[in-house]
């Protein structure tokens, strides 16, 4: 029984690590399609971003894709990295915190945010075997 629990926690940790790496890659490549793959399709996405973006709303995964497509077309990421080396999480949810540095493409102003991603462990698959993965349900940022 103990080995089963350890194996399950190892798998959850591995998928969580892959998810946070995909978030980092999406921001560094300014790629909203990579984020779309991580957005929850079963739950609304709450997004709240301060100035200069000024955005706060509850969206579907498709709407969130277009919001980030617009953000990445206006602002270019030059730094994005995890703020915590070994964050705490449980089997159901996790908060991933990172630092996001970006510049406005119009005037070259630079900004630095702490950005937080609330991830849930979501099961998908209707007629096929269930697949569990971490999905984004909330994104909040705080200007530094």
The pLDDT tens digits for 54-91 are 999 999 999 999 999 999 999 999 999 998 654 455 67
Query: Residue 92 and residue 72: Cα distance in Å, rounded?
Result: 30
Question: Angle CA(104)–CA(114)–CA(86) in degrees, nearest 5?
Answer: 135
Q: Does residue 114 surpass a pLDDT of 50? A: yes
- Does the predicted TM-score (pTM) go above 0.85? no
* Tally of CA atoms within 13 A in the half-sphere of 47 that contains its CB: 21
* Tally of CA atoms within 13 A in the half-sphere of 71 that contains its CB: 28
Q: Does residue 109 surpass a pLDDT of 70? A: yes
Which has the higher per-residue pLDDT, 11 or 136?
136
Q: Does residue 26 surpass a pLDDT of 70? A: yes
The whole-number pLDDT of residue 73 equals 98
CATH number given to 2-143: 3.10.450.50
In contact, 120 and 127? CB cutoff 8 Å: no
Which has the higher per-residue pLDDT, 8 or 78?
78
Query: Residue 91 and residue 81: Cα distance in Å, rounded?
Result: 23
Which pLDDT band, with edges at 50, 70 and 90, does 10 fall under?
very low
């Amino acid at each position: 029984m103990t080995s089963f629990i350890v194996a399950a926690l190892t798998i959850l940790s591995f998928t969580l690590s892959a998810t946070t790496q995909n978030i980092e890659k999406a921001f560094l490549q300014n790629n909203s399609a990579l984020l779309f793959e991580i957005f929850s399709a079963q739950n609304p996405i709450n997004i709240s971003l301060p100035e200069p973006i000024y955005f706060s709303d509850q969206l579907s995964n498709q709407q969130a894709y277009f919001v980030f497509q617009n953000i990445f077309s206006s602002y270019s990421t030059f730094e994005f990295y995890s703020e915590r080396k070994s964050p705490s999480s449980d089997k159901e949810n996790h908060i991933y915190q990172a630092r996001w540095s970006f510049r406005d493409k119009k005037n070259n102003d630079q900004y630095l945010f702490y950005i937080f991603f609330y991830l849930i462990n979501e099961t998908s698959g209707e007629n096929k075997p269930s697949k569990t993965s971490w999905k984004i349900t909330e994104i909040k940022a705080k200007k530094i």
